[in-house]
Structure 1
Amino acid sequence: MLLLAFAGMARQWLPRAHEVVHGGMAIVCGGAALAVLVRLAMGETGIDTLALPVGLPWLHANLRLDALSAVFLLAVNLAACLAAVFGWSYARHDDEPGRVLPVFPLFIAAMNLVLVADDAFVFLAAWEFMSLTSWLLVLSTHREDETPRAAHVYFVMASFGTACLLLCFGMLAGTTGDYSFAGIRAQPQDVVSASIAALLVLLGAGSKAGLVPLHVWLPLAHPAAPSHVSALMSGVMTKVAIYGLIRVLFDLVGQPLWWWGSILAVIGAVTAVVGVLYALMQDDVKKLLAYSTVENIGVIAIGLGLALVFKASGVPALAALGMTAAMLHVLNHSLFKSILFFTSGAILTATGERKLDRLGGLIHKMPKTALFCLIGSAAISALPPLNGFVAEWMLFQAVLNGPLLEQWELKIGFAVIGALLALSAALAAACFVRFYGIVFLGRPRSPGAEKAREVDPVMLTAIGVPAFLCIVVGVLPTLVIQMIEPVNRLVVGEGLLDAGGHGGWVWLAPASAFGNSYSGLMMFLTIMILTILAVFMIHRYASNRVRRSIAWGCGFTDPAPLGQYSADSFSQPLRRVFAGHLFRTRERVDMPAPGETRPARFTLESRDPAWDWLFTPITRVVGWISERVDALQFLTIRSYLSLMFFALVALLVMVAVSQ
C-alpha cells in the first residue's frame, strides 16, 4: 500500500496514475478480503501474534489476528476493494483526482492496522493516522463552500476522540506501565477504573462512530469527501470505531457491569431515532446517506448494549444473540451503504446534481443503477428477504427476551428500547421510499436529470457486487453467522449455534427461549412464487389494450415536472409530527398578494439540537478559559519559574500519594 501511495505522489511522471493506484488497491484489498474469508469459512479460530522491533523501546509493536479482527478485516477490505474499483472509473470525472491518490491507500492501511494492533501504542498511532488521512481526503474537495467547516469540525472531534482513548488505555494499564493488550487482560481491574475506562472508550470510539450527541461531524465530513471515499468513511471507518468499542468493553476490561450495556443501548436507541429523523429532512443525497449511517450505528450500538447486559447478567446465550445481530449488521451496513454511496457518485457523474428536488425519472435513464439502488434501499429498510432484515429480526428477538432479566429497570428499559428500535425501522423505510421515489421515479426535474445516461460497466460492477451479496446474505444468513461464531466464543464465552440457534443452512432457528424461526431461503422462494403468480394472473386475465391517460398530479393538471410531489412534500407530515420540537424546525411561506408578480417562497430551517445543548456552551466555556489563560504569556521570568516549581511539587505529591 505504501508503494501505491508513492505511485499516487508521482502522478505527474506516472501515466494513468489513478488507474495504477485504484487498480492496485483493488487487487491488494481483494486478496486480503479473500484470505480472511477463507480463514473464517474454514473455522480457523487460532490467534496469530507478531512482535515487530519498532515502537516504544520496552514494548515493541505487537500485532494480533483473532476472530474479532478477522470479521472486521473482511468488512474493511471487501468495501475497500469495491471502492477502489468504483474510484478507478470515478476518478476520470474528478477535476482534481491527484488530491485523493496519495492518501487513499494510506487511509485503508491505517484502518487495517487499527484492527490488528495488540498494544495501546500501535492502536492509538494507527487510529490517529486513520483520522489524519481521512481528514485529508475530506479536504480534497476544499474548493466547495462547506468543506472547510466540515474539515475543521471533524479535526476537532477526532482529536477529542483520540484524547479520550489515550486516557482510557492509561486507566486500563494502571501503574504497571504495560500497555500491551495481553498485559491489560492479565491485570485485574477494579470497578472504578474499569467503569471510567468504559465511559472513556464510549466517548472516544463513540465520537468516531457517530453516536449522538457526538455525531455532528459525520453529516458534515462524509458528504464533503469524494463518493467512493464517503462509502469507506461511512461504511467501514465507523465500523473500525465499533471494533474499538468491542475490543475494550468485551475483551480488555474483564467482566462488564450491566449498567454499561444499559447506557450503550439507550444511547444507541436515541442515535437510531435522531439519525433517521434527520435523514428524512435532508434534500442533499449524500447528507441523507450520512445521517442514515448515524441511524445504523445506533442499531449496532443497541445490539452491543444488549450483549453487554446479558453477559453481565450471566446469560451468555442471549449475549451471543445480541452480539451476532450487531456483528451481522456491521457486515450488512458495509454492503448496502457502499451501494448507496456508489449510487450517489454515479448520479453525480451522470447528472451533476446532488439535490433530491433536482433529480427524478432516472429509472428510465439509468435502469441498471436504479435496480441496484432499489436492492440497497430495500436492504437498508430491513425488508425481507434481504440482509438488513436478518440482523434487525435477531435484534428484536434479543429485545423480546428482556423480561428474563431480574432487574425491573431493565425489563422496562428493554421495552422502551424495543419501541424506539421499531420506530427507527419504520422511519428508515419511509426515508428510503422518499429517497428512491424522488430520485428515480417521476419525471426529470432539471436539465441534468433529463440528459442523464447510464454509467460505465466498471461503476456498475462496483455497485452490482454488493447488491448481489445483499441478496445472498439475506437468503442464506446462517453461512455468515457460522463465520461470526468464533467472535461470540471469544467475547461472550458461548456461540449462538452452541445454544441451538440454527436448523441447518436453510433455517435460522434459535433455541426456544429466543422466539421464532426464520428462513431467508423460504422467504425468497415464497416471494418469487407469489410474484410469478401475480404476473401470470395479470397477463392472463387483464386486458391487453393499451390505455393512455394524464399522469396523476395530486389534484394539479399542470404537466410541468416542478408540479410533482417534492422531497419536502413527502417528509412534511413526519417532519411536523416528530421534528417540530426536537429539531426546532421552522417553516416559512412568503405568499405574494393578488396582483403581485414576485414568486412565492418556502423556506425550511432546522438545527441539530446537539449544537445548542452541548457544543455551543462548551465553545463559550473554552473561549472564556482561553481569554483568562492568555494572560500567562505576559508573565515575568520569576513568575514562570515559580509556576514550574509549584507544578513539580504537585507532581511529586501525586506520585507519593499513588504509591
Structure 2
Amino acid sequence: MPLYFALACVGALLGLAGFAIVQGGRDNASERIYKYSAGLSLALTLAVMIPRGASILTTTLPLGIPWIGMHFRLDALSAFFVAVIGIGGAAASFYGVGYGAHEKHPSRVLPFFPAFIAGMTSVVLADDAFTFLVSWEFMSLVSWALVLTHHEDVENRKAAYIYLAMASFGTLCLLMAFGVLGGVDGAYDFASIREASRLPWKAGVVLFLVTLGAGSKAGLVPLHIWLPLAHPAAPSHVSALMSGVMTKIAVYGFIRVAFDLLGPPDFLWSIHPLVFGTLSALVGVLFATIEPDLKRLLAYSTIENIGIIFIALGLALAFKANGQAVPAALAFTAALLHVFNHMLFKSTLFFGAGAVLSATGERNIERLGGLIHGMPKTAFLFLGGCVAIAALPPMNGFVSEWLTFQAILLSPSLPQWILRLIVPAVGVGLALTAALGAGCYVRAFGIAFLGRPRSPAAETAKETDEWSLGAMAGLFALCLLAGVLPGYMIDTISPAAAVYVGGRMPAQDAIPWMTIAPIAESRSLYNGLLVLAFIIISSVGVAKLIHRYGSRDTRRGPAWGCGYVDPSPMTQYSASSFAQPVRRAFGAFAFSVHESLDMPLPGETRAASFTVTIGDRFMRYFYTPISTAVWFGAEKLNVVNFLSIQGYLALVFVALVASLIIIAL
C-alpha cells in the first residue's frame, strides 16, 4: 500500500541519517548519502502518485503514547504535499552530490539532511496531534542544526538562535491550538477532532493560534524575521529545501486545521489569511527589490510567495463559507498550484545562487556581473527561474498567479460588505506585488550575470559541476512543463479541492488544445502551449528578418560612456542604483532607511562616500521592545534564585492558589 511504502521510506531516511553518522568522515560518503536520499525521495513521490482518486488510507503504529499509538493518514491533500517533498528532496539531493564536494565540514550536514526530509514527510502523514507536533518539532530541530552548519560565523549563530526562538513560538501556538481542539476529553486523534462540536469563539481562537504557529514557520509577516537570516546561513541545497519545501509544510498545517479539523468555516476566518497574506506579499517583494545579497533576496521573495498562497487560501475560505463551491475550488487550486510552482522555481534559483557562490565566493550582486560568459549554462537556467518567479508566461509562475487573480475577480459575488471592501484592496496589492516582482528579478539577473565583471572573482568564474546543472535543468524543465501544460496539474489537485472545499474546477483534460478554463470557456481562457509557440515563432521570425535584410556579422567593442571609452566596470549601473527609486518611494513606511553622505571639503583628497542603512521596522518596533522587556523581566525575576525556604514555600502556595482559581473559572 502507498501509505506503508511512504512510512517505510521515512524509516529508511532516518536509517540513512544514522548511517551518515558512521560514514560521514569517509571518502565518497557524501555522494552515497545524497544519492540514497534522492532515490528515497523519488520513491516517496512515486508511491503517492499511484492513481488513487480521493481514497483515504490510514494506519496506526505501536509507537509514541502507550495504548494510543501514532496515527498516520494518506489522502489527496497529504499525497500532494508528499509529492512536493519528494520532488524537492530529490532535486536537492542530486544537487548536493556536486555541491557537497565543496563543503568543508560534510559531517555537519549529512546526518541531518535525510532526517530533514523524513521529518517533513512525517508531519504531512500525521493523523493525530501527538504525531503531528512531535514530527513538527523534529523537523524544526533538524533544520536548526542545518542552519548552524557554519557555526564559526557569528551571524550564522545569531540566525540559528532567532530561528530556534521563532520555531519554539510556533510550536507553542500549535500546542495550544490542539489543546483547544482536543478539549477536556483529550481526544487528540484527528478523526475525533473532526467529529467534535465546538463553540464559534473556540474555533476562532484555534484559527488565530494556527495562523501564528504555521505562519511563523511559513514566514508570514510579521513572523518572518528568521527567514532572511536562516536561509543565507544554511548550505544552498538546504536553503532550497527550507524555502521551497519546509515553508509549504507550514501551509499544509494551516490547510489541515482550517479546511479540515475545524469543520464548516465562518466568513470571518478568511480575513486573517487575506490581510497577513497581502502584507507578506508586499513587504517580501519590497525587501527583495532592494536587497544586494543574492540568497537574502531569494529569502525575501519566499515571504512574498507565501503571502500569495495565503491570499488564495483566504479567498477559498471566504467562498467556502458562503457555499460557493466552484469559486472556492478555483482559489484552493490556485493556492496548491502555487505551492508546487514555488517549490520548483525557488529551488532552481537557490541552486543557481549556490553555483554562483561556489564559483565566486560572493553573494553580493554588486561584486558580480558578467557571469554569463564564464557560467553560460547556470545563467540560462537561472534566467528560466527568474522568468518563472516573475510570473511571466509561458512559465509556471504565471498560471497560479493568474488563477488567483481570476478568483479575486469573482469576489463581487460575496454577500458580506467587509469582504467586498477587503478583496479588491487585496487584488491591488497582488497586482503591485507582481509588478515589483518582475522588476526585482530583472535587477537580480541583470546585475549578477550581465554587464562586465565587478570583481576578480566574477571575472574568473567557471561553470559549476554536472550534478548541480542536472538538478537545475530538471527543475527548469518541470517549470516549463507546468506552465505549458497546467491542465494536468489542475486535474491532479482537483480531488483535494473536492474534499476540502466541496467543489472542483472543470476537468481541464476535456478542453481542446490543452487550454485551461478556470470557471467556463465563455469567461476566461489561457493556453500556455500557444503562448510558447508564439514566442518561438516570433523570435525566430525576427531573427531571420534581421539576418536576411541586415548583417550576420557580430562585432565586439569596448563599452562607451558619453562618447568616451569606459575603462572601469564600476561605472556600470549598480544594484543600489536600480533599487533607489523603490527605496525612495516606499522607504518612508516600508523600511527603516538611513542615508549618509560624506563629501570632502574643497582641497581634501580623500574619497567621498555614500552609505545606506536599511532596517526592518518589525524588528525595530516590535521584536526589539519585546526582547528588551523579556531581559528586564528576567533580571527582576532573578531574585527568585536567592529566596529562603520560607519564600519558596510561599511562592509555591501562591502559584497553587492561582492555578486553582484559573481552573475554577
Letter in 2 for 1:566: S
Separation of aligned partners in 1, 2:414 and 2:149: 50
Q: Deviations over 1:537-584 (max 9, x none)?
A: 111111335555543547874321111111101111111111243212
Tell me the equivalent position of 1:449. Answer: 458
Three-state SS of the structure 2 residue aligned to 1:582 is coil
Q: State whether residues 43 and 483 of structure 1, in contact with CA within 8 Å, keep that contact through their aligned partners in structure 2.
A: no
Separation of aligned partners in 2, 1:59 and 1:178: 10
Separation of aligned partners in 2, 1:85 and 1:641: 60
Q: Deviations over 1:175-224 (max 9, x none)?
A: 11100000100101210111000000000100100000000000000110
Letter in 2 for 1:180: D
Separation of aligned partners in 1, 2:563 and 2:118: 56
**Which shows bigger deviation, 473-482 or 49-58?**
49-58
Select 1:362's aligned residue among 371, 377, 384.
371
Separation of aligned partners in 1, 2:123 and 2:597: 50
Tell me the equivalent position of 1:481. Answer: 490
Select 2:74's aligned residue among 65, 69, 74.
65
Separation of aligned partners in 2, 1:555 and 1:308: 60
Letter in 1 for 2:506: L
Letter in 2 for 1:131: S
Tell me the equivalent position of 1:22. Answer: 34
Query: How does 1:523-534 map onto structure 2 within 5 Å?
Result: 523-534=531-542
Tell me the equivalent position of 1:35. Answer: 47
Tell me the equivalent position of 1:2. Answer: 14
Q: State whether residues 478 and 502 of structure 1, in contact with CA within 8 Å, keep that contact through their aligned partners in structure 2.
A: no
Q: State whether residues 560 and 566 of structure 2, in contact with CA within 8 Å, keep that contact through their aligned partners in structure 1.
A: no
Separation of aligned partners in 2, 1:335 and 1:233: 13
Separation of aligned partners in 2, 1:366 and 1:375: 14
Separation of aligned partners in 2, 1:606 and 1:368: 34
Superposed displacement of residue 457, structure 1: 1.1
Tell me the equivalent position of 2:394. Answer: 385
Tell me the equivalent position of 1:50. Answer: 59
Tell me the equivalent position of 2:202. Answer: 193
Q: State whether residues 59 and 72 of structure 2, in contact with CA within 8 Å, keep that contact through their aligned partners in structure 1.
A: yes
Three-state SS of the structure 2 residue aligned to 1:50 is strand
Tell me the equivalent position of 1:259. Answer: 268
Superposed displacement of residue 20, structure 1: 1.5
1:424 matched to 2:436? no
Superposed displacement of residue 13, structure 1: 6.1
Separation of aligned partners in 2, 1:502 and 1:432: 36
Query: How does 1:582-597 map onto structure 2 within 5 Å?
Result: 582-597=590-605
Three-state SS of the structure 2 residue aligned to 1:606 is strand
1:132 matched to 2:144? no
Superposed displacement of residue 83, structure 1: 0.5
Letter in 2 for 1:629: L
Q: State whether residues 214 and 250 of structure 2, in contact with CA within 8 Å, keep that contact through their aligned partners in structure 1.
A: yes
Tell me the equivalent position of 2:479. Answer: 470
Separation of aligned partners in 1, 2:223 and 2:421: 26
Separation of aligned partners in 1, 2:522 and 2:173: 37
Three-state SS of the structure 2 residue aligned to 1:101 is coil
Tell me the equivalent position of 2:572. Answer: 564
Tell me the equivalent position of 2:153. Answer: 144
Separation of aligned partners in 2, 1:325 and 1:66: 19
Superposed displacement of residue 527, structure 1: 1.4
Superposed displacement of residue 19, structure 1: 1.1
Quickly say closer, same or farther: Cα 1:209–1:505, change in 2 above 3 A: farther
Q: State whether residues 64 and 117 of structure 1, in contact with CA within 8 Å, keep that contact through their aligned partners in structure 2.
A: yes
Q: State whether residues 234 and 293 of structure 1, in contact with CA within 8 Å, keep that contact through their aligned partners in structure 2.
A: yes
Superposed displacement of residue 158, structure 1: 0.5
Letter in 1 for 2:18: F
Letter in 1 for 2:44: A
Tell me the equivalent position of 1:372. Answer: 381
Tell me the equivalent position of 1:172. Answer: 181
Select 1:399's aligned residue among 408, 417, 437.
408
Separation of aligned partners in 1, 2:105 and 2:180: 45
Quickly say closer, same or farther: Cα 1:186–1:591, change in 2 above 3 A: same
Tell me the equivalent position of 1:220. Answer: 229
Three-state SS of the structure 2 residue aligned to 1:183 is helix
Quickly say closer, same or farther: Cα 1:553–1:496, change in 2 above 3 A: farther
Quickly say closer, same or farther: Cα 1:46–1:505, change in 2 above 3 A: farther
| Cα RMSD (Å) | 1.8
- Normalising to structure 2: TM-score of the pair? 0.95
**Which shows bigger deviation, 113-122 or 605-614?**
605-614
Superposed displacement of residue 512, structure 1: 4.3
Superposed displacement of residue 628, structure 1: 3.0
Quickly say closer, same or farther: Cα 1:352–1:635, change in 2 above 3 A: same
Tell me the equivalent position of 1:639. Answer: 647
Q: State whether residues 401 and 513 of structure 1, in contact with CA within 8 Å, keep that contact through their aligned partners in structure 2.
A: no
**Which shows bigger deviation, 82-91 or 510-519?**
510-519
Q: State whether residues 506 and 517 of structure 2, in contact with CA within 8 Å, keep that contact through their aligned partners in structure 1.
A: no
1:458 matched to 2:467? yes
Select 2:291's aligned residue among 282, 297, 304.
282
Quickly say closer, same or farther: Cα 1:491–1:48, change in 2 above 3 A: same
Tell me the equivalent position of 1:310. Answer: 319
Separation of aligned partners in 2, 1:156 and 1:249: 25
Tell me the equivalent position of 1:628. Answer: 636
Three-state SS of the structure 2 residue aligned to 1:497 is coil
Select 2:551's aligned residue among 539, 543, 546.
543
Three-state SS of the structure 2 residue aligned to 1:62 is strand
How many aligned residue pairs are there? 653
Q: State whether residues 479 and 505 of structure 1, in contact with CA within 8 Å, keep that contact through their aligned partners in structure 2.
A: no
Tell me the equivalent position of 2:516. Answer: 508
Tell me the equivalent position of 2:7. Answer: none
Letter in 1 for 2:646: R
Tell me the equivalent position of 1:576. Answer: 584
Superposed displacement of residue 630, structure 1: 2.2
Superposed displacement of residue 531, structure 1: 1.4
Three-state SS of the structure 2 residue aligned to 1:122 is helix
